[in-house]
Amino acid sequence: MPHKFATMRGTGLVAVACACATLTGVAGAGYLWRAKTASPPAANAEGAKSLGPVESPSLLHAEPAPSASVEVDDAHPEVFGHGGPAPIPAALAGLDLAKMRADGDALVAPADAGTARLTLDPDFQRAALGLMAAHHVPEAAAVLVDVATGRVLVYASHVEKGGPRDLCAEAKAPSASVFKIVTAAALVQDAHLGPDTRQCYSGGESRITATDLLDNPARDRNCTTLGGAMGRSINTVFARLAGEHLSPPQLDAMGRRFGYGQSVPFDVPVEPSTLHVPADPLDFARTAAGFWNSTLSPLEAVEMSAIIARGGETVRPSVVDQVIAPSGAVVWSAPPPAPPRRAVSRETAEEVAAMMDHTVSEGTSWHAFHDGRGRAFLPGIEVAGKTGTLTDADAQRYYTWFTGFAPVTPIADVRQVAVAVLVVNGPRWEVKANVIARDILRSYFASQATEGVTRPSIAAIQKMHARRH
């Protein structure tokens, strides 16, 4: 009998309406951008971008300060703690982000101790909510965070029918191919593979069978690299490489390094993601490719991209700057960031970032990030990302994901951000997650006066939707 999440394709996600973004104009404590700019990547024989010479700058530019992070080992790989709700400061008890409102030039939300002033940028928050509403998706959520500091700039949820919900903190959606980030990290760190590892394959576009796992030169007429497989979300490549090079305990440990089975430390409760890694070889291969056995919240999805962008280190996301009592007194202020924990090695993060770069440059999000003439919506800005798509046919819910970070190569005076978007469509598809993620990034980079980047037109989206329906 097929699993309830019966099919999966290498495309972006459409889901619950919630958008979350974090930006700040101040350098994060202990993190600096690389001053040197990267040279243009060279093209290899297949037209894919290579990383260039060894002496070129890293893909990652939220550089950790020498004050070391806390190391995580395989015996205790949990980066956030052992499951259950993460502790929340007492002053933030009762914080209700579903009731946020504008207060002058800031966004605020009620808490038991008074009014919480939020880190959110009102313009970005308004744009994210407007995008999801204009597309009329049944449910959607998006999170945008400043990579260096963890400050949340957008935290938005949209539910087309029904009461408001904090979808950014819900971990009910299947991870789908976003889980390939975890598998890729394990293949690099534990199996010592890399973006240029080649694998031939056949089958596996929407399901994986036992036959798909067997090498067969007569049948395996397509070959690609691990980086190319990440970009185009090729299930069979991840399934075969995981089956050959990884054990279930290794994949489970890497999942916990990225926060699976734990609640992301945050200013409101976050539902823990789930992960079950089976021992059966076929089910293990399917899990490694992202077909099922894991769930994820948009908040944790953005944290996964931030870990890669930060060279393997975690950052605690924060959405509250201060809590102000009815008397006007400040009863709580956000503390300095805690020392980061190292989830994976810097080398592993750089290799995974190189793979994620393929998603927009040639893979499942190329069309979303380019117009009909092949012109980039974000010219001169490299975006590393991962899509995911999975269908719950019984419930008629069609999940799409996009998580990633930009710019990959530093741009002067522009903060690096990580984004995650989940979209849940019904039987009639409205939009995929990578399109909404693209437009949130357009809003952000246009606000930074980045050359050639324009803001999306919500009015144009509304007109297009009206013509379609």
Instruction: Read off φ and ψ for residue 290, nearest 5 degrees.
Output: 95, 15
Dihedral angle computed from the Cα positions of residues 71, 295, 152 and 422, in that order, rounded to the nearest 10 degrees: 140
- Return the DSSP state at 161: S
Could you give the 3-state DSSP secondary structure of residue 103? strand
User: For residue 462, which of 437, 432, 430 has the smallest C-alpha distance?
Assistant: 430
- Residue 105 inside a domain? The answer is no
CA distance 88 to 337: 14
37 close to 159: Cβ distance less than 8 angstroms: no
444, pLDDT greater than 50: yes
How big, in percent rounded to 5, are the helix, strand and coil portions of the chain?
Answer: 30, 25, 50
Q: How many residues does the chain have?
A: 469
Q: Is the pLDDT of residue 114 over 80?
A: yes
Q: What is the mean pLDDT of residues 16-42?
A: 32
Any domain includes 109:
no
Q: In this structure, is residue 327 part of a structural domain?
A: no
For residue 377, give its domain range.
5-90+121-315+342-468
pLDDT in tens, 179-198: 999 999 999 999 999 999 99
Does residue 107 belong to any structural domain of this protein?
A: no
Share of the chain above pLDDT 90, in %: 71
DSSP letter string over 171-197?
--EE-GGGGHHHHHHHHHHTT---TT-
Instruction: For residue 61, count other CB atoms closer than 10 A to its CB.
Output: 25
Q: Which two tokens stand for residue 356?
A: 């994620």
Residue 31 included in any domain:
yes
Q: Which CATH number goes with the domain that contains 382?
A: 3.40.710.10
For position 18, what pLDDT does the model report?
38
- The Cα diameter of the chain in Å comes to 76
Rounded Cα–Cα distance for residues 134 and 128 (Å): 10
Does some domain include residue 142?
A: yes
User: What is the mean pLDDT of the segment spanning 270-299?
Assistant: 96
State pLDDT tens for residues 115-134. Answer: 999 999 999 999 999 999 99
3 vs 12, higher pLDDT = 3
- 221-230, 256-265, 318-327, 433-442: which has the minimum mean pLDDT? 256-265
Spatial distance between the Cα atoms of 422 and 138, rounded to a whole number of angstroms: 11
pTM: 0.84
DSSP letters of 261-326? TSPPP-SS--PPPEE---SSHHHHHHHHHTSSSEEE-HHHHHHHHHHHHTTSB----B-EEEEE-T
Q: Average pLDDT, whole number, for the chain?
A: 85
Report the DSSP pairing between strands 222-225 and 198-201. Answer: antiparallel
Look at 90 and 66; give whichever has higher pLDDT: 90
Strand, helix or coil for residue 464: helix
Angle of the 248-257 helix axis to the 281-289 helix axis, nearest 10: 30
Q: What is the mean pLDDT of residues 259-267?
A: 91
Question: Can you say whether the dihedral through the CA atoms of 193, 194, 196, 202 is positive or negative?
Answer: positive
Give the model confidence (pLDDT) of 166-176 as tens digits. 999 999 999 99
Q: Is residue 116 part of a domain?
A: no
**Cβ atoms of 177 and 451 closer than 8 Å:** no
Question: Is 334 part of any domain?
Answer: no
pLDDT at 156: 96
Which of these, 232, 213, 386, 405, lies nearest to 315 by C-alpha position?
A: 405
Buried b (16+ CB within 10 A) or exposed e, 377-415: bbeebbbbbbbbbbbbeeeebbbbbbbbbbbbbbbeebb
Residues 6 or more apart whose Cβ sits within 8 Å of residue 108: 100, 101, 102, 115, 116, 117, 118
Q: How many domains does the chain have?
A: 1
State pLDDT tens for residues 70-83.
565 665 566 665 55
Q: What integer pLDDT is reported at residue 57 of this predicted model? A: 32
